[in-house]
Structure formats: structure tokens, C-alpha cells
Structure 1
């Protein structure tokens, strides 16, 4: 068995706009009502949010594209035991709450963001309850 897994390519489905320009400004974890942002979907993915409504919790899977990819330890622990965006594959998950959805279904206003402005969004998932 190979020690190296297969390689995958991901295409972002959109981008998130937030008030945070660098990691020092962004909260360490999402969830705060004060931290608001907007996911803007590429037009070809708008049908994917049919049924999404304001008040719904949503896991935003995004790329910390400006994070350090050479880090294996953060705050005295291995990065795989943390939620630090600095890691070999900086794929992040933030649980947010939907505030509003535009009529054309391209813009999803959220509360609880922790991503930097213009971070690529890979996927959106409604959590299982």
C-alpha cells in the first residue's frame, strides 16, 4: 500500500467576503453574532442551495489560502489536533448561521465567520442534527 494518498483537485464554488484582511484581525473560531460575511457563489452552483433558509446552520468549507503550509505544530500541539488554518492542506470548516439569501441565490449572508476576506469556498453543508 502506498504511503502517499491520491492527489485531488478542488474547484471553489465561490468566495467569502468578510471584514478580516489578515489573520490577526480574524477571530480564532467562528460563531460570534458580531462577525458577519457573505458567500458569493459562482452562478453555476446556485441551484445547490434550493431549500436553504435564513436561520439555518451551515458548515462553510473553505481554504485558508494565505496560511503557512509548512507548519506541523501550533500552540505546542500537532496541527492535526487543532483547528489552526496553518497546516499542510489548509482546508477549514466554520459553522455559520444564514442571515439572508439574495433573490438570485448567489449571495448568502452569514453570521459567525472567521475566514479572511476573499477566501475560496469549496463547499457548503447543512449539519446533521
Structure 2
């Protein structure tokens, strides 16, 4: 909150209302926009000082919510007025004409489906946020006002991400079935939807190399895949792995 008698140029204090628990454990593999992976489950437990029994009253009547968040994993150290959106393959646009997390104030906005509210916890799906993301606020989505008729999408309209076809190797299929039989319903669809929207960075030569073995974490499952042409193949799923930030190296 702004201090008494503060000016707009002075620092402001922001406090999270809770920390999001998400199936996405790292930036690589996290969808670039909300709604691309509808089966992505997350939950937000409201901190007790915000009286969730009262502050969440009435929220369950809405189907979707806006999540105002803090990009806690942003690596920006200096302000850059222009950035490289992944879909533009090297071309720059102004940071305020993008949704890049590399901003003067790393504040993000994500639209999520509200599955249910139980006690102090909000259950969500479809958000494009990493596990551990601080949530600054929740606001209900109002379709009569939040959906703008005739809206234009600027440079994004002509630069849609191409979708990949997703296949499973015999080992990959067996691993997915094992995870689902252990209680993770819809895991295969979650993997396929994540890969369909191509998590690779088109400016990273290693990631774009055909057949390169890459991995991303969904909960405690390390999903390995490779891409050849327009086909992504799930190679295997290593379960029970502890997430550690790692470089994407080709397996020997």
C-alpha cells in the first residue's frame, strides 16, 4: 500500500494474498497464454490475514477469474524498452505491446477457470503460471464487460504459433498410462496439450535441433520429448523426480 503522503513516483508495497500451487514447475513447458492447456490444475490458498471465509464469499458463482500476479522468476536486471516475443522469431516490439514478463514492474495477468472454492482454497484450471507464483489479487471475470466486441490483436493476429502434432513412443505411452493408473487422471491429455503449443524457444538453436532430447516437469513427473518436423514425440516420463533447474542437454 502507498505510504501516507506518498507521491506516485515513490515505491509502493505489494503483498501477495497467497502463493499459487501449479502443475508447472519451470518456465520451460509453461503455456505462453492462459487457456491453451485447459487441463492444467492449480490451487490458491488465501492467507489467513485476508479472512478467506469472508473475502471469498460470493466468488463461487463465477465461472472464471482474473489472477493478478508477480513474475517472481523474471531474470530482468535492467529495463529494456523492446523485447523479442517468441512468435516473432527475433523481431522486436515495445515491451508495452507485449505480455512479456520482462517489464519495469513484473506484474502479470492470467485468466483461469474457477473449478470450486473450498474453505480458504480456490481451485483453478487453465492458468499459465508457474508453481510458487505470488498472487496479488483475484477479480471475477465479467463476460458482459471483459469481452470486448471487435477487439484487435495487433501483431499477434498475423503471427500465430504453429501447432505440433503429438505422438507417444511405446515407452512414453506406457509411462503415461502408469501415471494415470496411479491416480493422475488426464495426464496424457495434459502432456499432449502442453506440447501441441510447442514450448521451445525458436531463437534457441539447441532446442530447435531436430531430435533434441528435452524435458519439462509436470508436478513430480519429468516429461521428455523430441521434435522432428512438425511432430513432437513423447519419449518417456520419469516419475518421482525432484525438480531442479537444469540445462537442456542432449542425452548421450
Post-superposition offset of 1:68: 2.2
Q: Go from structure 1 to structure 2 and tell me whether the alpha carbon gap of 1:115 and 1:96 turns closer, same or farther (over 3 Å shift).
A: same
Post-superposition offset of 1:23: 0.8
Structure ranking higher in strand proportion: 1
Aligned residues: 124
- Aligned residue number for residue 79 of structure 1: 95
Residue 61 (1) aligns with residue 68 (2): yes
- Aligned residue number for residue 117 of structure 2: 101
Q: In the alignment, is the contact (CA less than 8 A) between 2:68 and 2:138 conserved in 1?
A: yes
Inter-partner Cα distance in structure 2 for 1:63 and 1:19: 18
Inter-partner Cα distance in structure 2 for 1:19 and 1:55: 23
- Aligned residue number for residue 46 of structure 2: 41
Stretches of structure 1 lacking an aligned partner (at least 5 in a row): none
Higher mean displacement: 71-80 or 57-66: 71-80
> Cα RMSD (Å) of the superposition?
1.7
Inter-partner Cα distance in structure 2 for 1:65 and 1:5: 22
Inter-partner Cα distance in structure 2 for 1:127 and 1:98: 10
Inter-partner Cα distance in structure 2 for 1:89 and 1:98: 26
Residue 7 (1) aligns with residue 21 (2): no
Q: Residues 65-114 of structure 1, C-alpha deviation per residue, up to 9 Å, x if partnerless? A: 11123352132112211111122211001011110111x2x111101111
Moved over 2 A (4+): 68-72
Q: TM-score, normalised by structure 2?
A: 0.46
Secondary structure of the residue aligned to 2:113 is strand
Inter-partner Cα distance in structure 2 for 1:7 and 1:74: 28
Q: In the alignment, is the contact (CA less than 8 A) between 1:54 and 1:99 conserved in 2?
A: no
Higher mean displacement: 89-98 or 49-58: 49-58
Inter-partner Cα distance in structure 2 for 1:55 and 1:33: 17
Residue 127 (1) aligns with residue 141 (2): yes
Q: In the alignment, is the contact (CA less than 8 A) between 1:54 and 1:101 conserved in 2?
A: no
Post-superposition offset of 1:35: 1.6
Q: TM-score, normalised by structure 1?
A: 0.87
Inter-partner Cα distance in structure 2 for 1:122 and 1:101: 18
Q: In the alignment, is the contact (CA less than 8 A) between 1:23 and 1:116 conserved in 2?
A: yes
- Aligned residue number for residue 170 of structure 2: none
Structure ranking higher in helix proportion: 2
Stretches of structure 2 lacking an aligned partner (at least 5 in a row): 1-7, 86-91, 145-252
